[in-house]
Structure 1
Amino acid sequence: MKRMRNVKIVATLGPASDDYEMIRALHEAGADVFRLNMSHGSHEEIAKKHAIIRQVEKDTGSSIAILADLQGPKLRVGVFAGDSEMLEEGAKFRLDLDTADGDSSRVCLPHPEIFAALEPGKSLLVNDGKIRLKVEDCGPDFANCVVIAGGVISNRKGVNVPDVELPLAALSEKDRADLEFTAKLGVDWMALSFVQRPADVEEARALVKGRAAILSKIEKPNAVERFDAILAASDGIMVARGDLGVELPVQNVPPIQKRLVRKCRHAAKPVIVATQMLESMIESPMPTRAEVSDVATAIYEGADAVMLSAESAAGSYPIEAVTTMDHVAAEVEQDPTYTQIIESSRSANRASVADGIVAAAREIAETTNIKAICCFTQSGTTALLVSRERPRVPIIALTPLTGTARRLALSWGCNCVVTPTMERFKGAVVSAAKAALEGGFATSEDQIVVTAGVPFNVTGTTNILRVAPCDERLIFATDPE
């Protein structure tokens, strides 16, 4: 399905989008990737959604990526005798391991690992940071705090500990079960929540065993501090601004977002910008102007994808939310300023033959009347390198591997086509021309750039570039073979 934009759209599925008709409508409206939130829904429900997506993929002839988002370690307070309490600023409040119902002076925090890491002066944030506590005294089973920012605290509200690195396992038992289930199911991307260190990514990769690509969600301050190492260990990144904006001052998030997006592009790894992008569209058919500007900013920064969460999972206007995002992306990419920003932020990275080939392909395409860059790829690396260049012409990624095509559906500008296994470059050129014609990217009178690696079907051998006609008769008449 040919899109009129390069940035990709990730749509989260949920109660508002769990049948064939809605999921197909979301894809046709612009969703390129579907996110399965493992925090909600049984394995049976997840499997049902997965099967529907694959049916939509088959019926539309598209390559659709499926992203399983693991819950990660969830830290929550216990319950209150009256379900909730009001905490006043300046009041004393105790967190401990006592499982008795809480009151206005204390509540259970059933996470001894938090007490083990706390020190006096550290902060605890409750309910998305609405309540802020400062530790005055603490031990292995308690923390006596003072309320810095008060409010209503209720049963099982989430807790963030921004000032310390918690000695938590990277994957909970639930995460491990969900990872194995979704890997067997056949998802394309596995998102890891609350990543703190590169070892978290490496642990997940050992369990995934190559069955899915690993995407790290950046939502903790120490993940930002260790970002370069986490990026090196990951296949992709999500800038998850929800918890990041809770654990850091909100004014810190925009420059962090911009910096992380640039680093991901330099590394040729896809990056998603997520959380509250069109939040008002959960209940309204129209977004706010500020939300539209937020989506546009992420696109101007060069993000590979922008994501909808509750807007498409539980909102009243899921199709309208996807359509809005699609229209904003298309409009931004037609702006001459967008091209200037993207091209001025392109950093030269010529460390290999493949880097030189894809850079030459872009320059040739942009200085002559070339209609598309067609790249043959096994692992997806060549397509990612072309995507990093952000060319002005469409990218057609051709691969014999369905899994590679699906994973590339997350990457900027990649139009993915599954082809037969190639043995000779002439056949590859014919296949590329056919894909360009059938996809509506070129006519028989146009030319394309084709990149490939010889010998074929070997990862990491991109070493050839050809400007080729789309007319098959001319290919055979002019091919040196």
Structure 2
Amino acid sequence: MRRNRRVKILATLGPASSEEAMIRKLHEAGADVFRINMSHTDHDTMRELVRRIRSVELAVGRPIGILADLQGPKLRVGKFKDGAVTLALGQDFTLDDNPEEGDETRVFLPHPEILEAVQAGHRLLIDDGRLQLLVLETDSKHIRCQVVAGDKISNRKGVSLPDTLLSSGALTEKDRKDLDAVLAVGDVDWVALSFIQRPEDLAEARKISRGRVALMSKIEKPQAVERLDEIIELSDAIMVARGDLGVELPLEMVPSIQKRITRAARKAGKPVVVATQMLESMITAPVPTRAEVSDVSVAVYEGADAIMLSAESAAGNYPVEAVATMNRIAEQIEQDPLYSGIILAQRSEPEATGADAVSLAARQMAETLNVAVIVTYTATGTTGLRTARERPMTPILALSPVLSTARRLSLCWGLHCVVTEDAYDLDAMIDTACRIAVEEGYARAGERVIITAGVPLRIPGSTNMLRIAHIGSDGLSAV
């Protein structure tokens, strides 16, 4: 199954899309990677979803990526005597460590780390910003605030802290248990870390996972934006989580931050996913709004590696239609004559490594010679990532002897991944590359392909070889 687009589609599974038949329909409609949201998924359900995805993978004969998204710290207020209260603009309202039910003057805040970290002048946003409080004074037991916007608060509403750096890490006890369960399955490729604030927040997850999964940092807090480059350096991939970004930052800033994050990740050669509310109206409607179509197109024009569906595919009335619609939008944008120029304008200078030099040369030669496809051998995935970083307009065929590598790379821009046996010598490698290029529909007899790999073979390391090969009438390399 060959996609007619370079950007990948990440679809969230849920009540509307948990059956194996539906997962296959979503894959056939365009989903390349499936997301399991651990905020709403218990361990038994997670294991069953993974089994069903792998069953579909076996049936279609193509690597499929799986992302487990950890919940992260959920900060919430306590309960009220009557379930909710109405506040007056400008009044005082206190959040404290008293577990008794709240009223119009105070409410319990079961998070001592907030009581310790918040300072006068900081903002507290309740219920996705519907209630905004300004901190007047604080100590280790209470936070006295002034109501500056909104007037209602009810039981267990979420608390956002756009100005406060919490001392606690990104992993909660629930996250640790979920991560252990994900690692025990052994068939999950990516783990997304929620509410990352600083690069140090990745340390614990990295230590626990020990390379068994790739780590994706979700950028959804102002503190993470401030240390973006450091977080990207320590992450395997990045997600632009626009939902919470739009709560903790002014909405008008989110588009520019999305571009900043996308371009920084592209420069570093790390996959970047744009997520949240991309086709939100398709939860209940069979077609999206014009604004949503434009929103998806912006991410595609920016060269994002993947675009994500959340509730649209997990709980909506039209999960298959949502994936198919996103697929059509992406295909159409990439056929736009302006697309290649926009992608070209955003390319970064290569880093001073052999792999980058070879990947740059492969892209330039492919476009100059108008070859059919770039074939890259990649055992660890590094070569595939560096080739994708160049954003060539020539298709990229990533061959790997390692199934887990092919699955991880299914998230990456432009990479069509095929699992193949490792080559035993250079001639066999060239023949295999030519044969698979023909079998996968990327080349025909008489056309040329470019092949990149590392020599000596079967030793993971930097790419250091580039070869132009001609396809013979038998589908192998012509002498």
TM over 0.5: yes
- Please say if residues 434 and 475 of structure 2, whose CA atoms lie closer than 8 Å, have aligned partners that are also in contact: no
Query: Secondary structure of the residue that 2:372 maps to in structure 1?
Result: strand
Change (3 A) 1:477 1:166: closer
Shift of 1:141: 1.3
Alignment of structure 1 residues 394-413 onto 2, 5 Å: 394-413=395-414
Which residue of structure 1 aligns with residue 279 of structure 2? Answer: 278
Query: Secondary structure of the residue that 2:312 maps to in structure 1?
Result: helix
Shift of 1:472: 6.9
Q: 2: CA distance between counterparts of 1:265 and 1:390?
A: 9
Which residue of structure 2 aligns with residue 150 of structure 1? Answer: 150
Amino acid at match of 2:332: E
Shift of 1:79: 1.4
Alignment of structure 1 residues 82-101 onto 2, 5 Å: 82-101=82-101
Change (3 A) 1:146 1:343: same
Which residue of structure 1 aligns with residue 430 of structure 2? Answer: 429
CA deviation map 1:226-257 (0-9, x unaligned): 11111110110001111111111111111111
Shift of 1:129: 1.1
Shift of 1:376: 0.2
Amino acid at match of 1:110: P
Which residue of structure 1 aligns with residue 374 of structure 2? Answer: 373
Shift of 1:460: 2.0
Greater alpha carbon shift after TM alignment, 171-180 vs 79-88: 79-88
Shift of 1:380: 0.7
Amino acid at match of 1:112: P
Q: 1: CA distance between counterparts of 2:443 and 2:476?
A: 15
Alignment of structure 1 residues 290-329 onto 2, 5 Å: 290-329=291-330
Q: 1: CA distance between counterparts of 2:338 and 2:257?
A: 22
Which residue of structure 2 aligns with residue 261 of structure 1? Answer: 262
Q: 2: CA distance between counterparts of 1:344 and 1:118?
A: 43
Query: Secondary structure of the residue that 1:462 maps to in structure 2?
Result: coil
Which residue of structure 2 aligns with residue 104 of structure 1? Answer: 104
Shift of 1:375: 0.2
Which residue of structure 1 aligns with residue 237 of structure 2? Answer: 236
Shift of 1:444: 2.1
CA deviation map 1:394-431 (0-9, x unaligned): 10000100000000000000000001022211111111
Q: 2: CA distance between counterparts of 1:154 and 1:320?
A: 36
Which residue of structure 2 aligns with residue 203 of structure 1? Answer: 204
Query: Secondary structure of the residue that 2:342 maps to in structure 1?
Result: helix
Q: 2: CA distance between counterparts of 1:150 and 1:344?
A: 44
Shift of 1:470: 2.4
Query: Secondary structure of the residue that 1:379 maps to in structure 2?
Result: coil
Q: 2: CA distance between counterparts of 1:87 and 1:24?
A: 50
Which residue of structure 2 aligns with residue 363 of structure 1? Answer: 364
CA deviation map 1:232-283 (0-9, x unaligned): 1011000111111111111111111111111111111100011111111111
Structure 1 unaligned blocks of 5 or more: none
Q: 1: CA distance between counterparts of 2:88 and 2:351?
A: 58
Q: 2: CA distance between counterparts of 1:47 and 1:446?
A: 45
Which residue of structure 2 aligns with residue 48 of structure 1? Answer: 48
Amino acid at match of 2:57: E
CA deviation map 1:172-227 (0-9, x unaligned): 11111111111121210010001111111122111101110011000111111111
Q: 2: CA distance between counterparts of 1:472 and 1:57?
A: 31
Q: Which runs of 4+ in 1 moved over 4 A?
A: 472-477
Q: 2: CA distance between counterparts of 1:297 and 1:474?
A: 39
Query: Secondary structure of the residue that 1:433 maps to in structure 2?
Result: helix
Structure 2 unaligned blocks of 5 or more: none
> Are 2:344 and 1:340 equivalent residues in the alignment?
no
Q: TM-score scaled to structure 2, two decimals?
A: 0.98
Amino acid at match of 2:338: T
- Please say if residues 216 and 238 of structure 1, whose CA atoms lie closer than 8 Å, have aligned partners that are also in contact: yes
Shift of 1:170: 2.3
Q: TM-score scaled to structure 1, two decimals?
A: 0.97
Shift of 1:475: 5.2
Change (3 A) 1:34 1:348: same
Which residue of structure 1 aligns with residue 452 of structure 2? Answer: 451
Greater alpha carbon shift after TM alignment, 216-225 vs 438-447: 438-447
- Please say if residues 137 and 145 of structure 2, whose CA atoms lie closer than 8 Å, have aligned partners that are also in contact: yes
Shift of 1:58: 0.4
Change (3 A) 1:23 1:151: farther
Shift of 1:461: 3.0
- Please say if residues 455 and 461 of structure 1, whose CA atoms lie closer than 8 Å, have aligned partners that are also in contact: no
Q: 2: CA distance between counterparts of 1:477 and 1:147?
A: 75
> Are 2:34 and 1:59 equivalent residues in the alignment?
no
